[in-house]
């Protein structure tokens, strides 16, 4: 009788040991798979679309696009039918040492088309916006000794509608940083006007109609260097620009204009070190949010 009890006890201990071992193996493998997945996403140097694997998310898909040289993405937008557009600069494709590119993917991550734009000069940047009719506007700059703004309009099939190049003069050139559209599909570009004589920089905001013709251009400075980094419009088509101004250090600036180009107000935020405003956004009730970086605080 005692032998049977001891055998039963030993069998129970063995079952418990096997169960604990299985749980340990499962948890260990799950950790390795998660670590490998996240490491692959982190170390992938190609243009990729993916999702971070967490306990509350399901990975859908990822894709890459690129060639033998450096290809960098700077902008992503989603249109009314959930197609994705990605833009940036490519050295793998195109006609020159660096061209602008525009890619379209459907919401399953399948490439629909890709186009490049540029010549023998170097083209930089590549920010995009989609208007209410589904047209895509790609803005960048062309380096041809100076710097010109280039603006290209594409339809949703990737066919070019028109292109505009303008900006440089004997004493200055323009550097675009961001682009937005209003409720009437007018186009707004912010960036910098750099004076090659005085070596100073002024923030600019340019309004164009949907045909690419300039309506007005405004500059803003306080006797110091200023740069526009990001532009957004609220529900009334007021314009907000985030960026930086420079004296001995950088301060974050936020400007407001109406859609006729009239200056409304400006705000400054910063400390005794470098603080830069990189992006601006609005919500449904027209609150304004600025994102950036600070060395002064934190």
Q: At residue 197, does pLDDT exceed 60?
A: yes
Q: Is the residue at 185 inside a domain?
A: yes
Number of domains in the chain: 2
Q: Are residues 251 and 158 in the same domain?
A: yes
User: CA 6, CA 93: separation in Å to the nearest integer?
Assistant: 76
Q: Is the residue at 32 inside a domain?
A: yes
pLDDT given at position 13:
52
Report the mean per-residue pLDDT for the chain. Answer: 84
Q: Are residues 40 and 79 in the same domain?
A: no
pLDDT given at position 48:
46
Q: Are residues 18 and 74 in the same domain?
A: no
pLDDT tier at 106, thresholds 50, 70, 90? very high
User: CA 190, CA 256: separation in Å to the nearest integer?
Assistant: 12
Q: Is the residue at 163 inside a domain?
A: yes
Rg of the chain in Å (alpha carbons)? 26
Can you tell me the mean pLDDT for 188-214? 93
Q: Are residues 27 and 90 in the same domain?
A: no
Can you tell me the mean pLDDT for 142-161? 90
Q: Are residues 79 and 30 in the same domain?
A: no
By the 10 Å C-beta count (0-12 exposed, 13-18 middle, 19+ buried), 77 is classed as middle
- The CATH number given to whatever domain includes residue 92 is 2.120.10.30
Q: At residue 46, does pLDDT exceed 80?
A: no
Can you tell me the mean pLDDT for 16-32? 48
Q: How does pLDDT run across 55-105, given as a tens digit for each residue?
A: 577 889 999 999 999 999 999 999 999 999 999 999 999 887 899 999 999
Q: Are residues 37 and 74 in the same domain?
A: no
Angle of CA points 227, 233, 238, to nearest 5°: 95
Q: Is the residue at 178 inside a domain?
A: yes
pLDDT given at position 153:
98
Q: Are residues 172 and 83 in the same domain?
A: yes
Q: Are residues 145 and 16 in the same domain?
A: no
Q: How does pLDDT run across 228-257, given as a tens digit for each residue?
A: 999 999 999 999 999 999 877 889 999 999
205: Cβ–Cβ under 8 A, 6 or more apart, which residues?
188, 189, 190, 217, 218, 220, 228, 231, 239, 241, 255, 257, 261
Q: How many alpha carbons fall within 13 Å on the CB side of residue 216?
A: 9
Domain extent, residue 220, equals 67-294
Which pTM does this prediction carry?
0.80
Q: Are residues 152 and 89 in the same domain?
A: yes
Q: Is the residue at 57 inside a domain?
A: no
Q: Are residues 110 and 236 in the same domain?
A: yes
139: Cβ–Cβ under 8 A, 6 or more apart, which residues?
125, 126, 127, 128, 149, 150, 151, 152, 176, 179, 189
What SS3 state is found at 141?
strand
């Amino acid at each position: 009788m005692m032998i049977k009890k001891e055998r039963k006890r030993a069998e129970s201990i063995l079952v418990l040991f096997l169960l604990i071992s299985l749980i340990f193996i499962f948890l260990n493998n799950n950790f390795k798979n998660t670590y490998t997945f996240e490491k692959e996403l982190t170390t992938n140097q190609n243009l990729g679309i993916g999702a971070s694997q967490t306990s509350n998310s399901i990975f859908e898909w990822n894709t890459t696009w690129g060639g033998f040289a450096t290809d960098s993405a700077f902008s992503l937008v989603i249109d009314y039918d959930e197609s994705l557009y990605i833009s940036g600069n490519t050295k793998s494709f195109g006609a020159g040492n660096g061209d602008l590119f525009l890619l379209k993917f459907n919401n399953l991550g399948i490439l629909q088309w890709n186009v490049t734009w540029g010549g023998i000069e170097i083209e930089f940047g590549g920010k995009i916006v989609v208007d209410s009719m589904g047209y895509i506007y790609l803005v960048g700059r062309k380096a041809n000794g100076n710097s010109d703004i280039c603006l290209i309009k594409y339809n949703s099939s990737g066919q070019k509608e028109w292109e505009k190049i303008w900006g440089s003069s004997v004493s200055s050139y323009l550097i675009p940083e961001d682009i937005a559209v209003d409720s009437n599909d007018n186009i707004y570009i912010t960036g910098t006007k750099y004076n090659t004589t005085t070596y100073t920089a002024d923030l600019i905001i340019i309004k164009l109609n949907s045909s690419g013709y300039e309506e007005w251009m405004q500059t803003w400075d306080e006797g110091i260097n200023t740069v526009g980094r990001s532009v957004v419009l609220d529900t009334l088509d007021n314009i907000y620009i985030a960026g930086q101004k420079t004296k001995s250090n950088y301060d974050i600036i936020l400007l407001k204009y109406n859609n006729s180009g009239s200056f409304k107000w400006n705000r400054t935020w910063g400390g005794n070190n470098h603080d830069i405003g990189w992006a601006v956004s609005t919500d449904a009730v027209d609150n304004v949010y600025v994102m950036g970086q600070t060395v002064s605080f934190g």
